[in-house]
Amino acid sequence: MKREWGLGLLGALGLGFIAVRVNGKLRPKPMPVQIEQFFLTNPLRVSYFGPRDALRLAGNLEGLRVLEIGTGVGVILEEIAKRVGEGGQAFGVDIQSDAVAKTEQRLSQHGLMSRTGLATANALEMPWTDGSMDRVIMVAMLGEIPTSHRVEALKEAGRVLNRDGKLVITEFWPDPHFIALPKMVRLLRQAGFSIVDVYQKPLLYSISAKKEGQVV
């Protein structure tokens, strides 16, 4: 009886996971903040995939201007703000105002708001000027944008990057909006980027890219 109950529970969880994945593919949209907070701050998730993996290809951020698109609850942006130091600036944008509020609360608790700028805006039309960023970071967020607008979002990321800037994208499975590496490479090339480096380990990858014409 217990075995049957256990198998039934596993089956239900499996079906639930499949349903979430399918819905994420068919109806791309930002993850609700409450779910995102649980997922991003979960110790099991952090032990395997944390800011170190997400920023592995970003290089030394000291003194730089670094933007994260899709800040969620601020887990990655907190680390960015620490790494840029007092001479740098961290920026974050999210389409959900409650996510931006959570991020501001998190960074304020760590005394990092003096070097951080936040905005509630669409990733397709961000409030920063052309060439104003040294790095743009996107962590498990491009898949939340409808398929027809993903190249446009990457081009907007390229717009705010300076001539020596670098875009770093990290994807983590089983995020319901996960984009496989070969598809991500195609999207980046369609948006006018050339690939600089790729880091992979089971269930996740990180890819860095520069605008075509830049010296790598």
Residue-wise pLDDT tens digits, 147-181: 999 999 999 999 999 999 999 999 998 889 999 99
Tokens of 131: 């060439």
**Residue appearing with tokens 């089983």:** 174
Give the rounded percent of residues in the chain with a pLDDT score beyond 70: 76
Q: What is the pLDDT of residue 11?
A: 43
Environment class of 60 (CB within 10 Å of its CB; exposed 0-12, middle 13-18, buried 19+): exposed
- Which amino acid appears at position 143 of this protein? G
Q: Which domains does the chain have, with CATH numbers?
A: 30-211 (3.40.50.150)
Instruction: Report which of residues 215 and 114 the model is more confident about.
Output: 114
Average pLDDT over residues 33-42: 55
Q: Under a CB-based contact definition with an 8 Å cutoff, are residues 92 and 72 in contact?
A: no
Contacts of 17 (CB under 8 A, 6+ apart): 174
Q: How confident is the model at residue 23 (pLDDT cuts 50, 70, 90)?
A: very low
Task: Give, in degrees to the nearest 5, the angle at Cα 58 between 33 and 178.
Answer: 45
Tokens of 127: 């409030």
Reply yes or no on whether the pLDDT at 37 is more than 80. no
Q: What is the pLDDT of residue 45?
A: 59
Residue 77 to residues 96, 182, 212, Cα–Cα distance (Å): 15, 27, 27
Q: What is the pLDDT of residue 100?
A: 97
Mean pLDDT in the chain? Answer: 85
Instruction: Report which of residues 20 and 124 the model is more confident about.
Output: 124
Q: Under a CB-based contact definition with an 8 Å cutoff, are residues 51 and 23 in contact?
A: no
Q: What is the pLDDT of residue 8?
A: 47
